[in-house]
């Protein structure tokens, strides 16, 4: 397994957002982490990259326990996150955002130059707007930039938090195609999404979370055909 | 007209020094959300290094860069010893810490060096002046203006063209995401302090070159002015700090030049009144920071 968690528990003060979950992600997979708002998906991702501290349990990434590593250390080991809401550096240009994405490689390395030219070819819109401030891009363009920025570090595992949030349907489909392309090119992906149908379309496997726990797991097709997901979303709606 | 131009040169020289100081404050504020009131003591440090260097017979051309490097090292030491332990605390804690650092340093200067103002040996050239287009301009003013211009260009290149500079700007906008890029928090903050120390050091050299003396409380007033300038320009905005610094320099010099003799005692109040008026007109400052209020560190 590239990534596995055992009894992962994450909380903010007295509130436990994630209550002892076990997740596995194997190399080359797209794994979807689904669930209603407040189910604990983003908290899980934030804990995996070291932005939120882990209260209990263990995270193993690439053969090493990473519980106490900082985001700075984890990105150097090949784990990175595209955060919810894109969070591109609005006051910086598109190119500067990409430079920061490849910061750990060193801007003079060949890996950096190769990644930059490869990603600019993959995202023509970013090439066209290279010198434009990221804050002036549209939502879909910002999402492409956020993903490209994360890919600049050549991650082994890319965590994507709600890449389709707030985007127009046609753009959402493009983003999902892109995620599928990234996997085809060898990147393993753990995807947190609201858009269940599209996620299960591209995912090899999925986990369904509710109230901080894993409710069910299965292949993308299995989950898509069962009605448990629908129930989980409705159930959470009732509780809230 | 000639008098006006003469005063304008004075205003640019003074405003430039305020701008450098305000920039130092703004760099730290934009990244850490803290106003470093011990910034002035970095200036004072520069002054004492210049004083001791003069006594040791080190030529000014060599002493000035040494003094600036000392201010940079002092700023980095300040961060490591005093500010890092309180980095994740509230703004009030950090503010009080910076006051404490300022007072500790002032007391050390008073007790270890002298309570009184000490002369600083400067090359004779600083006392001279040159005629340019009918204006008599002091060498120290010309150097002030030139050094400020060079510093602003250097800083601009540093922040826009180097990976470390881009990382600093990113950290100022969104620190958690900057960490996701692999940018080390300690390195960025330490770098920001080095940069602000360099600016305080350069401003300190310019300040001492005007006065030829140094005293333990020397840094307090200019940094208070720089703080006003930073707010006037838009707290946390770097171009705002420069604009605010120059604006304050112009306000002070023109008031000194044009306010009638009887009203001179009130010129500081009039000046601050103008600052308040500007802030009423533009509450976020002349050039507001684009992305403030987000999470720091």
Residue-level pLDDT at A126:
95
Helices B163-173 and A94-101: angle between axes, nearest 10 degrees: 100
Cα dist. A138→A141, A165, B10, B38, B198 in Å? 5, 13, 47, 42, 39
Closest CA to A54 of A117, A6, A119, A3: A6
- Measured in angstroms, the CA of B145 and the nearest CA of chain A are apart by 29
Chain B touched by A70 (CB under 8 Å): yes
Least confident of A218-227, B59-68, B102-111: A218-227
Closest CA to A214 of A15, A35, A10: A35
pLDDT at position B294 over 60: no
Question: What ipTM was reported for this prediction?
Answer: 0.89
pLDDT at position B269 over 60: yes
- Residues in chain B closer than 8 A to A51 (CB atoms): 176, 179-180
Residue-level pLDDT at B288:
86
pLDDT at position B238 over 60: yes
B52 burial (CB, 10 Å; 0-12 / 13-18 / 19+) is middle
Sign of CA dihedral B257, B262, B267, B273: negative
Q: Alpha helix (H) ranges present in chain B? A: 2-32, 39-55, 60-78, 91-108, 139-161, 163-173, 175-180, 185-211, 220-233, 238-258, 267-281
Do the bridges between strand A157-161 and strand A188-192 make them parallel or antiparallel, or are there none, so unpaired?
parallel
Cβ-proximal residues to B19 (8 Å cutoff; 6+ apart), any chain: B148, B152, B229, B241, B242, B244, B245, B246, B249
Closest CA to B77 of B49, B105, B48: B105
* C-alpha atoms less than 13 angstroms from C-alpha of B120 in its C-beta half-sphere: 31
Residue-level pLDDT at A191:
95
B237, closest residue in chain A (CA to CA): A91
Cβ-proximal residues to B81 (8 Å cutoff; 6+ apart), any chain: none
Residue-level pLDDT at B22:
95
**pLDDT one-digit tens code per residue, B18-39:** 999 999 999 999 888 899 999 9
CA distance B80 to B282: 36
Query: Which tokens sit at A201?
Result: 């379309």
**pLDDT one-digit tens code per residue, B3-15:** 899 899 999 999 9
Question: Which of B170, B179, B291 has its CB closest to that of A72?
Answer: B179
Q: Which of A89, A146, A157 to mutate to test the interface with B (most CBs of B within 10 A)?
A: A89
Closest CA to A162 of A178, A176, A141: A176
Query: Is the backbone of residue B288 left (phi > 0), alpha (psi -120 to 50) or beta?
Result: beta
Q: Do A92 and B169 touch (CB under 8 A)?
A: yes
Mean pLDDT, rounded, for B133-147: 88
Do the bridges between strand B129-132 and strand A205-210 make them parallel or antiparallel, or are there none, so unpaired?
unpaired
Residue A218, φ and ψ in degrees, nearest 5: 175, 180
Chain B touched by A111 (CB under 8 Å): no
CA distance B105 to B118: 17
Residue bearing tokens 């090359």: B123
Closest CA to A88 of A74, A104, A73, A99: A99
Residues of chain A with pLDDT under 70: 234-240
Q: Show which of residues 127-146 on chain A sit within 8 Å of chain B, judged by CB atoms.
A: 135
- Residues in chain B closer than 8 A to A77 (CB atoms): none
Query: In the beta sheet, which residues pair with residue A82?
Result: A160
- Residues in chain B closer than 8 A to A80 (CB atoms): 180
Q: Name the strand (E) or helix (H) holding B180.
A: helix B175-180
Cβ-proximal residues to B173 (8 Å cutoff; 6+ apart), any chain: A89, A90, A91, A92, B290, B291, B294
Query: Which tokens sit at A82?
Result: 């595209």
Tally Cβ neighbours within 10 Å of residue A23: 21
Q: What is the mean pLDDT of chain B?
A: 91
- Residues in chain A closer than 8 A to B167 (CB atoms): 100, 103
Q: Name the strand (E) or helix (H) holding A25.
A: strand A15-25
**pLDDT one-digit tens code per residue, B196-223:** 999 999 999 999 998 899 999 999 999 9
Question: Which of B180, B184, B185 has its CB closest to that of A49?
Answer: B180
pLDDT at position B293 over 60: no
- Measured in angstroms, the CA of A104 and the nearest CA of chain B are apart by 6
CA distance A19 to B60: 65
Residue A57, φ and ψ in degrees, nearest 5: 95, -175
- Measured in angstroms, the CA of B150 and the nearest CA of chain A are apart by 24
Residue bearing tokens 């979303």: A233
Cβ-proximal residues to B127 (8 Å cutoff; 6+ apart), any chain: B139
Residue-level pLDDT at B83:
94
Q: Do A103 and B290 touch (CB under 8 A)?
A: no
Query: Which tokens sit at B278?
Result: 């500007």
CA distance A69 to B221: 44
Count interface pairs A-B at CB distance under 8 A: 67
Q: What's the Rg (C-alpha) of chain B? A: 19
B171, closest residue in chain A (CA to CA): A89
pTM over 0.80? The answer is: yes
Q: Helix, strand or coil for residue B61?
A: helix
Q: Do A99 and B184 touch (CB under 8 A)?
A: no
- % of chain B residues with pLDDT over 90: 70
Cα dist. B267→A186, B6, B275 in Å? 69, 19, 12
Tally Cβ neighbours within 10 Å of residue A169: 10
Residue-level pLDDT at A176:
93
Q: Do A103 and B167 touch (CB under 8 A)?
A: yes
Q: Which residues of B touch A (CB under 8 A)?
A: 163, 166-167, 169-170, 173-174, 176-185, 290-291
Q: Helix, strand or coil for residue A189?
A: strand
Mean pLDDT, rounded, for B46-58: 95
Residue-level pLDDT at A238:
42
């Amino acid at each position: 397994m590239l990534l596995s968690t055992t009894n992962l528990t994450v909380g903010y003060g007295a509130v436990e957002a994630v209550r002892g979950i076990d997740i596995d992600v194997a190399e080359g997979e797209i794994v979807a982490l689904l669930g209603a708002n407040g189910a604990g998906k983003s908290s899980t991702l934030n804990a995996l990259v070291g932005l939120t501290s882990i209260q209990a349990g263990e995270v193993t990434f690439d053969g090493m326990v990473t519980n106490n590593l900082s985001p700075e250390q984890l990105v150097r080991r090949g784990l990175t996150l595209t955060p919810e809401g894109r969070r591109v550096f609005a006051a910086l240009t598109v190119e500067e955002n990409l430079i920061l994405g490849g910061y750990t490689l060193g801007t003079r390395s060949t890996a950096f130059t190769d990644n930059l030219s490869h990603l600019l070819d993959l995202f023509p819109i970013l090439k066209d707007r290279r010198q434009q401030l990221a804050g002036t891009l549209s939502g879909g363009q910002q999402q492409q930039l956020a993903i490209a920025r994360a890919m600049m570090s050549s991650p082994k595992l890319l965590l994507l938090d709600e890449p389709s949030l707030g985007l127009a349907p046609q753009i959402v489909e493009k983003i999902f195609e892109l995620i599928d392309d990234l996997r085809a090119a060898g990147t393993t992906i753990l995807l947190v999404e609201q858009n269940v149908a599209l996620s299960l379309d591209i995912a090899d496997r999925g986990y369904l979370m509710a109230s901080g726990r894993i409710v069910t797991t299965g292949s993308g097709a299995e989950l898509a055909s069962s009605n448990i997901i629908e129930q989980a979303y409705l159930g959470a709606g009732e509780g809230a | 007209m000639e008098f006006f131009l003469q005063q304008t040169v004075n205003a640019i020289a003074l405003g430039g020094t305020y701008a450098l100081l305000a920039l130092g404050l703004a760099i730290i504020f934009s990244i850490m959300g803290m106003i470093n009131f011990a910034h002035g003591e970095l200036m004072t440090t520069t002054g004492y290094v210049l004083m001791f260097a003069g006594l040791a017979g080190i030529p000014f051309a060599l002493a000035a860069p040494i003094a600036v490097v000392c201010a940079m090292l002092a700023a980095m030491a300040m961060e490591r010893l005093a500010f890092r332990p309180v980095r994740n605390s509230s703004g009030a804690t950090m503010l009080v810490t910076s006051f404490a650092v300022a007072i500790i340093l002032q007391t050390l200067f008073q007790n270890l060096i002298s309570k009184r103002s000490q002369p600083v040996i400067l090359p004779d050239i600083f006392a001279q002046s040159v005629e340019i287009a009918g204006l008599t301009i002091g060498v120290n003013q010309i150097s002030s203006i030139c050094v400020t211009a060079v510093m602003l260009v250097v800083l601009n290149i540093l922040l826009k063209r180097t990976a470390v500079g881009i990382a600093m700007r990113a950290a100022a906008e969104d620190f958690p995401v900057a960490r996701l890029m692999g940018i080390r928090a300690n390195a960025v903050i330490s770098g920001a302090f080095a940069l602000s120390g360099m600016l305080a050091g350069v401003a300190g050299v310019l300040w001492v070159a005007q006065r030829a003396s140094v005293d333990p409380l020397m840094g307090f007033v200019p940094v208070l002015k720089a703080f006003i300038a930073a707010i006037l320009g838009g707290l946390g905005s770097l171009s705002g700090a420069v604009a605010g610094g120059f604006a304050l320099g112009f306000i002070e010099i023109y008031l000194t030049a044009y306010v009638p003799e009887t009203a001179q005692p009130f010129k500081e109040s009039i000046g601050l009144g103008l600052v308040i008026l500007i802030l009423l007109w533009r509450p976020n400052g002349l050039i507001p920071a684009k992305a403030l209020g987000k999470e720091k560190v």
